Amino acid sequence: MTFRKDELLFREQIITYCVMCVLCVALIPLDNFGIFRYVSLLFVLLIALTPFLHNTFITIDASGVVCTKRGNVLWGYRWEDVVKLKKSSRYRMPSVEIVTKIVSNEVTPYEYSEHYFQLGRKARKAIRMYYVAQDNKT
């Protein structure tokens, strides 16, 4: 199952830009200088560019977790290498940190690594389908 790495942040930004665009369009009749026209065009441009700015995807399947950006693999782990999936709150949104055997032995804590994804609807479903906790592995 494939989904955006920062799915919740992506959705939040699109909604914010849409609301700001509608607000600027509503204020156009009150504007003498036409500034709200240009600001609303800026928000339309941001709405169009947001999918290109948030183009990192996570794929969770039976073999493991893979992170890709523009088709290039950034990192990937098999389920045997994953120690646990730890719930956290990156950007004050529910997310999952991937703690691996390799990262858990390093000096830098896993909270500062880029091995995470936000816990959206598709991510929850993929974790339920494919992840088996380390305690249940035999």
Residue 98, sorted as left (phi over 0), alpha (psi -120 to 50) or beta, turns out to be beta
Give the pTM.
0.80
Residue 99 to residue 105: CA distance in whole angstroms: 10
Q: What CATH class is the domain 57-136?
A: mainly beta
pLDDT > 70? residue 109: no
What distance, in Å, lies between the first and last C-alpha atoms of the chain? 25
pLDDT of residue 115: 85
- Is 76:102 a contact under the CB 8 Å cutoff? no
- Distance of alpha carbon 137 from alpha carbon 101, whole angstroms: 15
Q: Which residue has the higher pLDDT, 7 or 81?
A: 7
- What pLDDT does 89 receive? 86
For the chain, domain boundaries: 2-53, 57-136
On the question of pLDDT at 64 being above 50, the answer is yes
Please choose, from the candidates 75, 121, 120, the residue with its C-alpha nearest in 3D space to the C-alpha of residue 98.
75
